[in-house]
Amino acid sequence: EFVLTQSPVTLSLSPGERATLSCRASQSINNYVAWYQQKPGQAPRLLIYDASNRATGIPARFSGSGSGTDFTLTISSVEPEDFAVYYCQQRSDWPLTFGGGTKVEIK
Protein backbone atom coordinates (compact mmCIF):
# COMPACT_ATOMS: atom_id res chain seq x y z
CA GLU A 1 0.00 0.00 0.00
CA PHE A 2 1.27 3.45 -0.90
CA VAL A 3 1.28 5.71 2.15
CA LEU A 4 0.98 9.45 1.53
CA THR A 5 2.29 11.86 4.18
CA GLN A 6 1.22 15.49 3.98
CA SER A 7 2.99 18.40 5.60
CA PRO A 8 2.53 20.65 7.35
CA VAL A 9 -0.59 19.55 9.16
CA THR A 10 -1.64 23.18 9.52
CA LEU A 11 -0.49 26.19 7.52
CA SER A 12 -1.32 29.65 8.85
CA LEU A 13 -1.27 32.36 6.22
CA SER A 14 -2.61 35.81 5.49
CA PRO A 15 -4.56 36.50 2.29
CA GLY A 16 -2.18 37.29 -0.53
CA GLU A 17 0.59 35.05 0.74
CA ARG A 18 1.95 32.04 -1.12
CA ALA A 19 0.98 28.58 0.11
CA THR A 20 3.19 25.55 -0.38
CA LEU A 21 1.75 22.16 0.58
CA SER A 22 3.74 18.93 0.47
CA CYS A 23 2.74 15.31 -0.17
CA ARG A 24 5.34 12.57 0.13
CA ALA A 25 4.76 8.98 -1.02
CA SER A 26 6.27 5.91 0.64
CA GLN A 27 7.35 4.63 -2.81
CA SER A 28 7.55 6.09 -6.28
CA ILE A 29 4.13 6.73 -7.77
CA ASN A 30 5.31 8.38 -10.99
CA ASN A 31 3.11 11.46 -11.43
CA TYR A 32 -0.09 9.74 -10.27
CA VAL A 33 -1.17 12.26 -7.67
CA ALA A 34 -4.28 14.39 -7.36
CA TRP A 35 -5.15 17.22 -4.98
CA TYR A 36 -8.59 17.94 -3.51
CA GLN A 37 -9.94 20.91 -1.56
CA GLN A 38 -12.56 20.46 1.14
CA LYS A 39 -14.35 23.30 2.91
CA PRO A 40 -16.31 22.76 6.14
CA GLY A 41 -19.60 20.99 5.56
CA GLN A 42 -18.86 20.43 1.87
CA ALA A 43 -17.76 17.56 -0.30
CA PRO A 44 -14.19 17.53 -1.61
CA ARG A 45 -13.45 19.15 -4.97
CA LEU A 46 -10.81 18.03 -7.44
CA LEU A 47 -8.15 20.68 -8.04
CA ILE A 48 -5.20 18.94 -9.71
CA TYR A 49 -4.70 15.50 -11.27
CA ASP A 50 -1.67 13.68 -12.65
CA ALA A 51 0.45 15.97 -10.45
CA SER A 52 0.13 19.12 -12.54
CA ASN A 53 -3.11 19.20 -14.56
CA ARG A 54 -5.71 21.66 -13.31
CA ALA A 55 -9.27 20.34 -13.28
CA THR A 56 -11.99 22.20 -15.12
CA GLY A 57 -12.82 25.58 -13.60
CA ILE A 58 -9.90 25.66 -11.18
CA PRO A 59 -8.22 29.08 -10.98
CA ALA A 60 -4.69 29.47 -12.30
CA ARG A 61 -3.37 30.41 -8.85
CA PHE A 62 -3.48 26.68 -8.04
CA SER A 63 -0.59 24.67 -9.45
CA GLY A 64 0.86 21.24 -8.84
CA SER A 65 4.32 19.80 -9.37
CA GLY A 66 6.48 16.82 -8.57
CA SER A 67 7.08 13.23 -9.56
CA GLY A 68 8.31 10.03 -7.97
CA THR A 69 7.78 10.47 -4.25
CA ASP A 70 7.60 14.24 -3.67
CA PHE A 71 4.72 16.44 -4.74
CA THR A 72 3.73 20.03 -4.11
CA LEU A 73 0.51 22.01 -4.34
CA THR A 74 1.12 25.75 -4.60
CA ILE A 75 -1.39 28.55 -4.22
CA SER A 76 0.39 31.57 -5.63
CA SER A 77 -1.63 34.15 -3.71
CA VAL A 78 -4.14 32.83 -1.19
CA GLU A 79 -7.66 34.21 -1.54
CA PRO A 80 -10.17 34.26 1.36
CA GLU A 81 -12.11 31.38 -0.24
CA ASP A 82 -8.99 29.17 -0.29
CA PHE A 83 -8.93 28.58 3.45
CA ALA A 84 -9.80 24.89 3.61
CA VAL A 85 -8.33 21.42 4.03
CA TYR A 86 -6.33 19.96 1.15
CA TYR A 87 -5.81 16.26 0.49
CA CYS A 88 -3.52 14.43 -1.90
CA GLN A 89 -4.48 11.05 -3.41
CA GLN A 90 -2.57 8.46 -5.43
CA ARG A 91 -3.86 6.27 -8.24
CA SER A 92 -0.69 4.28 -8.89
CA ASP A 93 -2.17 1.06 -7.52
CA TRP A 94 -4.99 -0.41 -5.46
CA PRO A 95 -5.85 0.39 -2.78
CA LEU A 96 -6.23 4.03 -3.69
CA THR A 97 -5.01 6.13 -0.77
CA PHE A 98 -5.26 9.67 0.53
CA GLY A 99 -2.89 11.74 2.59
CA GLY A 100 -3.93 12.93 6.03
CA GLY A 101 -4.62 16.47 4.87
CA THR A 102 -3.23 19.98 5.35
CA LYS A 103 -5.44 22.66 6.83
CA VAL A 104 -4.80 26.13 5.43
CA GLU A 105 -6.05 28.60 8.03
CA ILE A 106 -6.19 32.35 8.34
CA LYS A 107 -3.28 33.80 10.27
Partner 1 sequence: EVQLLESGGGLVQPGGSLRLSCAASGFTFTNYAMTWVRQAPGKGLGWVSTIGRTGIDTFYADSVKGRFTISRDNSKNTVYLQMNSLRDEDTAIYYCAKALGTVGPTTSRWFDPWGQGTLVIVSS
Point out which residues bind partner 1 (CB under 8 A): 34, 36, 38, 42-46, 49-50, 55, 87, 89, 91, 94-101
Closer to partner 1 at the Cβ: 40 or 80? 40
Smallest gap from residue 78 Cβ to partner 1 (A): 21
Helix (H) or strand (E) segment spanning residue 107:
none
Q: Could you give the CA distance from residue 29 to residue 4 in angstroms, rounded to a whole number? A: 10
Number of helical (H) and strand (E) elements in the chain, helices listed first? 0, 11
Smallest gap from residue 43 Cβ to partner 1 (A): 4
